[in-house]
Every structure is written in structure tokens, then in C-alpha cells.
A and B are shown apart, each in its own frame.
Chain A
Amino acid sequence: MLPPRLKKTVMDNPKKLANLIDLVNLPSTLQEFVGQSQISRLGCFMRVWSYIKTNNLQDPQNKNLVNCDEKLKSILLGQSKVDLAELPSLIKLHFPKEPK
């Protein structure tokens, strides 16, 4: 049940949708984290977010921040604290646009 606006942006744009859900060969750092050689950008985000939740990495004082553990640091540019608002864009860095 996609809303009309999303239909326009995502569904009418197969490239954007593919960009989100196509399996991509991962660089070695990310492979270690997800334990798979291929994953989609959406799947990767879900994996990282559920990792944060299961390991209680959200800062108890400020739920908007994530205190990265070593494993998470390795894939999020080595930052020790990450704003949740930045999470999608940080993950996107691992999924560069394919050259034409």
C-alpha cells in the first residue's frame, strides 16, 4: 500500500527502487558486520538498526544518539557517537551510485 506520492518518487522510478532493494556486493568491512557477501541498502539499514536495538546502544540520556561499539564504529566512519538522523546517509556511503 504505497501512497501516491511515494509511487511517484519510488515506484515510477525503477532506478531509485532498485537502488534501495537490489542486492549489492559488499566491501570486506561491511561483509564482516552483516555476515553476508550481498545485501540491499534497505536490508543493511534494517540490520544495523536492529543491531543497535538488540545491543542497547542508544544513549539512555538522549535517545537520538547512538554510542557505537567497536563493531559499529568499523562501519560508521569510526565515529564514537552517531546521530540517528545521520544513520541512513552514513549507510548510504557504503552503497555508492553505480557509474553509468
Chain B
Amino acid sequence: MGKIPACLRSTATQILKNTAQSQPSKPSPSSHFSRSNKKLKSIKPLKPSLNPNFSSPITSPNLSEAKTLINSLISNPKTPIDLQFHNSLLHSYSSIAPLHDCFDLFNHMVKTLPCFSPDRSSFHILLSHSFNSKTSHSPVPHVCRVLDFMASHGFPPDPVTVDIAVRVLCRSGYDEDAVKFVTELHCKNSVTLDYYTYNFLVKHLCKNRSMSMVYTVIDELRGSVGMKPDLVTYTILIDNVCNSKNVREATRLLSELNENGFKPDCYVYNTVMKGYCNLSLSNELVKLYKKMTEEGVEPDIVTYNTLIFGLSKTGRVKEARKYLEVMTKTDHSPDTVTYTSLMNGLCREGDAMGAMRLLVEMEANGCKPNACTYNTLLNGLCKSRLLDKGMELFGVMKEGGVQLESASYATCLRGLCREGRVGEAYEVFDYAVETKSLTDVAAYTTLESTLKWLKKARGQGLAV
């Protein structure tokens, strides 16, 4: 960082942030969640759109109209009479109508259609639509009414019911009620929520509430429902504290996790490493990686990307390069993020040509550069005063319609103006406005301030 003048420093951090964003920053929780979502989708047949002809047959929330429509549909002999079709009718009506009308329609369907035998999924459709955004009151009574309705038809709530109810409550912002609801349901019907629901709830609370509240809820649920946080829960918690840059808390959670008999997996380590990375603690980063390999946890591509990004960020490009070799040796093929992080590190050292060589290497390995790669390179080239190379790259970007990032845009403008190529700077400005890379205000403000700076620099004989 030594070489970079103070006025450029914020630009440097900016581009780094951009690279950071392009990283798959939350590897662990998302992968856990995708698993949970998959499971849920297979359980609740909430997607009547499988039947494209009837994706949304009912368009008006008027009850009698809906009844007539259903009657006419049923009298048509071509209409399928399976449960899926009935559910799709119910789905399309309940997504637009108030709850009591849905109950009416449901009863009407049960009465008039002898072939309609509602199962759990039909009730779950009602439940998932029990709270429309139009009503501003608490969704809790609605949810309770659907549960009562279900019970009266001989379907006591099961874990899937709980899951849907919790998601409905959380979606409408009543997460505290969701916790209460879960506890109540456990006491009354002895339904326990499964870990997918539990972790969803914890993640939702992490996003929207303070950590202390999350801990209180976890304790509460431990006491009332008897559920302890599992490895995924810990990953969510660690991810959350790392995002708020509280690595000390992350380490505490890590040791608590060990005490509870869990063995941290790759995702946990990746999350903690991301935390170190955000704080530029590269020593800790490498230490953690070593610990991870010592414990026999197999690092994945995210681990390496985080490691390489962190080392590049703190100016230890040589070491980062070494890990690239380790990566290829262990059969992990480096991706665009890996290369871009390394290029970023090289550009920081002022070795923009090295970064360009890496681009060649990258493309030889069949890895396509993305907008972030181009912007990193453009920024690096303009900063190391390799303007012609930079403009060449800009030409390539222009051809591909790659959007500019504000940092590389500003560096490019400054570089051009310094060399007295104001006309070209205006072209870059036009390109930024055309591609909507930046807002007009941002693009113009940068141009204006650069030209202002140019005037000053000319006065001091620093620019042409």
C-alpha cells in the first residue's frame, strides 16, 4: 500500500470491497439451507403451477364468483379430478381472498365435489396464505384459526405445519410471535419443530434482531422445546457475528461448539476465515487453515478463495500464489474469484503486468473473466500508469458491454486526465452513463472533481 497516494487509497479499498462482494461470501449457511429448502419442497406440494393450464384460474376475490367458476369447471368432463387440480384451485383463490372466504370455499368444495378429499397439503395451502400483506394486524390469530380448522378435519399439526406457520409469521415480521407459537404448540400438541425450522428461525432472528435476543431465544427453546443448537445453527451464529466483525465472539462460539461435542466442518471454518479476512487478519487466517488441515477437514474451493483473497488483500501475494499451486495439486480448479483476488493482490503491489499475465493464464485454464476481473485490471493498469494498456482493456470491455465499477472508473478518468487526454476521459464518462454502470450524478461528480483536481495539478506542474 505504500506507493499509493492518499487520494487513491479509498479507491483501492473500494475495489477490494467489490471483489469481496463477488466472492460467495456465505458459503456455509446457504448450502445448508438449500438442503432444507429441498426437503420442504418435496413435502409440501405448494406448487400447483405444475399444471400450467390451471396456474391461476381464479382471478377475483369474490366468493360467489369463485364458486360458480368452480362449478362450471367441474361440470366440464375434461377437467382432471385429482387432488393436485383441486389444490391448485384452492391455491389460486386463497392467494387473493381473505381467510374466512377461503374457509367457505373449502367447505363448498368438500360439499359439492365428492371426489375432493382434502389432505394435509390442502390445509397447508390455506395456512401458507393465511396472512396476506393487505391485512395489517398480527397474523397469529389467522394461523391459529387455520390450525383449529385443520384439527377439526382430523389433521393435527405436524412438523411441516409448524414450519409453514413459522415461515408465515417470520415473513410478516412477527418473529417473536413465532417463537411463542412454537413453544405453545409444543406444550399443547407435543409437536416438535425440526432442525430446518429451528435454523430458519435462528437465521431470521440473526438477520433482524440483536445477538442478545437470539441467545435468549435459543435458551428459551432449549428450556421449553428441548432443542439445542446443532452444527448448522452454530454456523449461522458464527456467520452473523463475523459479518458484524466480532471475531472474538466467533472464537468463543467455536470453542462452545467443541464443548458441545460437535466437530467443526469445512463450512464452519470457511465462515470464521471469512471473518478474519474481513478484518485483514492474515496471520490468523493462515493459522486457521493449518489447523483445519491438521484436523483432517478437507478444504473446498471457498476455503482456498477466502485464503487467497485474504492474503492478497494484505499484500502477501507470493504466499497467495503458493496456495494457487496447492489448489491445483489437490484437484481444485481455481475459478474466476480465485484469479481475480490474485490479480487484485498483484495490482496492489503495482505489478499490473503480472496481473495481465495471470489473465492469460486464467483464460488458458478455461476460466472466463467477469466484470470484476476487468475492473480490477483496469484499475491496476491505470494506477500503475500503463494507460495505453488500460485503454486497450477498456476497448475490450466496451466490446463486451462490461459495466464499469466506480473505483476503476475514477482511476481511469484520473489517469487519462493526468496525461492530458481529457477527450478520452469524456468518452469513458459517456460509456459509464450509457451502460448505466453508475448513476448520472455519480459519473458526473467524479468527472467534475477529477477535472478540478487536474486544474490544481496543472498549476503545480504535476500534469500535462
Q: Which A-B residue pairs are the 6 nearest by beta carbons?
A: A63-B423, A3-B406, A64-B422, A84-B422, A88-B448, A5-B10
Least CB separation from A5: chain B residue:
B10
B445 pairs with A85, CB closer than 8 A: no
- Tell me, rounded to whole Å, the shortest Cβ–Cβ distance linking A53 to chain B: 8
Q: For B426, what are the chain A residues with a Cβ–Cβ distance below 8 Å?
A: 49, 84
Whether a CB of chain A sits under 8 angstroms from the CB of B320 is no
Residue of A9, A49, A62 with most partner-chain B CB within 10 A: A49
Q: Which residue of B14, B444, B449, B455 contacts A42 across the interface (Cβ within 8 Å)?
A: B444
Q: Given the complex of chains A and B, what is the CA–CA distance between A54 and B260 in angstroms?
A: 71
Are B451 and A85 within 8 A (Cβ)? yes
- Least Cβ–Cβ distance between A90 and chain B, in angstroms: 11
Query: Does any Cβ of A come within 8 Å of B65's Cβ?
Result: no
Bound-state CA distance A95–B11 (Å) is 30
Asked if A46 CB lies within 8 Å of chain B CBs, one says yes
Q: Are B406 and A2 in contact (CB under 8 A)?
A: yes
Q: Check A14 for interface membership: any CB of B closer than 8 A.
A: no
- Please indicate the chain B residues that have their CB under 8 angstroms from the CB of A87 in the complex: 451
Q: Tell whether, in the assembled complex, residue A6 and residue B446 are in contact, meaning their CB atoms are under 8 Å apart.
A: yes
Smallest distance from the beta carbon of A54 to chain B beta carbons, Å?
12
Chain A nearest CB: distance from B424 CB in Å? 7
Distance, CA A88 to CA B455, complexed state (A): 12
Given known pairs A2-B406, A3-B407, A58-B423, the reply for A85 and B417 (CB within 8 Å) is: yes
Q: A49-B426, A84-B426, A88-B447 are in contact. Are A2 and B442 (CB under 8 A)?
A: yes
List of A residues within 8 angstroms of B437 by Cβ: 1
Q: Assess A42 versus B422: contact at CB under 8 Å? Given A2-B406, A6-B445.
A: no
Contacts A1-B438, A58-B423, A64-B422; A20 near B406 (Cβ below 8 A): no
Chain A, Cβ-Cβ closest to B407: A3
Find out whether the CB atom of B422 lies under 8 angstroms from the CB atom of A46: no
A86 CA to B451 CA, complexed, in Å: 8
CB-defined contacts of B410 to chain A, threshold 8 Å: 3
A20 touching B451 in the complex, CB below 8 Å, given contacts A3-B407, A64-B423, A84-B423: no
A5 touches B442 (CB 8 A): no
Q: Are A46 and B440 in contact (CB under 8 A)?
A: yes
Give the distance in Å from the alpha carbon of A42 to the alpha carbon of B417 in the complex: 20
Chain B residue numbers with a CB within 8 Å of A63 are 421-424
Q: Which residues of B contact A53 (CB under 8 A)?
A: 430
A17 part of interface (Cβ distance < 8 Å): yes
Chain A residues whose CB sits within 8 angstroms of the CB of B452 once the complex forms: 88-89
Is B307 an interface position by the 8 A CB rule? no
**A42-67, CB under 8 A of B: which get 1 and which 0?**
10011001000100001000111000
**Chain B contacts for A45, CB-based, 8 A:** 444
Contacts known (A58-B423, A83-B422); A88 close to B442, Cβ less than 8 A: no
| Residues of A1-31 contacting chain B, CB below 8 A | 1-6, 9-10, 17, 20-21
Closest B residue to A2 by beta carbon equals: B442
Chain A, 67-100, CB within 8 A of any chain B CB: 83-89
| Contact of B112 with A by CB under 8 A | no
Q: Are B424 and A20 in contact (CB under 8 A)?
A: no
B442 interface neighbour in A6, A49, A64, A86, Cβ under 8 Å = A6
Report chain B residues within 8 Å CB of A64. 420-423
